[in-house]
Structure 1
Amino acid sequence: MLFFVTDPAADQQASIEAVNTGLPIVGLVDANNNLRNVDVAIPANNKGRRSLALIYWLLAREVLKIRGETTDEAWAEAQDLEEWQSSF
């Protein structure tokens, strides 16, 4: 099990509690974030909604691939990428 935070500054109390229980913490970090309680830092713009949408979309895809519920080919067929990009 792991603990995932979008903004370590905003989720500071939850991060402290996760550290106390021994959960590894994965965080989306911006240049101004403190990495004190973050075990794995993913550098990203954690304030912009488009950036967060892309990051969570990629994470969801990778989790489904790891579980064996989809493949790259099946994912590409299920998603209309041109329509998705035009929604920004």
Structure 2
Amino acid sequence: MPNIESAIKRARTSEKAHEANSARMSKMRTAIKKFEKSVEENADNQAELLAVATREIDMVNSKGLIHQNKANREKSRLAKKLVK
């Protein structure tokens, strides 16, 4: 455990950021899984779930949690699944 006050505060803020970032990543992964499951089951709301997943990917990308190339690659792969 850090002894210096600024280091203590930095540890606290890092922990809060880690929790928030983990929640965002989890939300993105869940949206992707929901879309992929709807594609497998040939559900009616595939386009809506694709929009939700794309939005979540963009949100995570805008926060800097994933690289722009990864975001584009994920969105492209999901869009291909919708077309098939």
TM-score bin (small chain): 0.3 to 0.5
Rg comparison, structure with higher value:
2
Write 1 or 2 for the structure with the bigger share of helix. Answer: 2
Q: Under a length normalisation based on structure 2, what TM-score does the superposition of the two structures give?
A: 0.34
Instruction: Tell me: higher relative CO, structure 1 or 2? Use CA pairs within 8 A at least 6 residues apart.
Output: 2
| Higher share in strand | 1
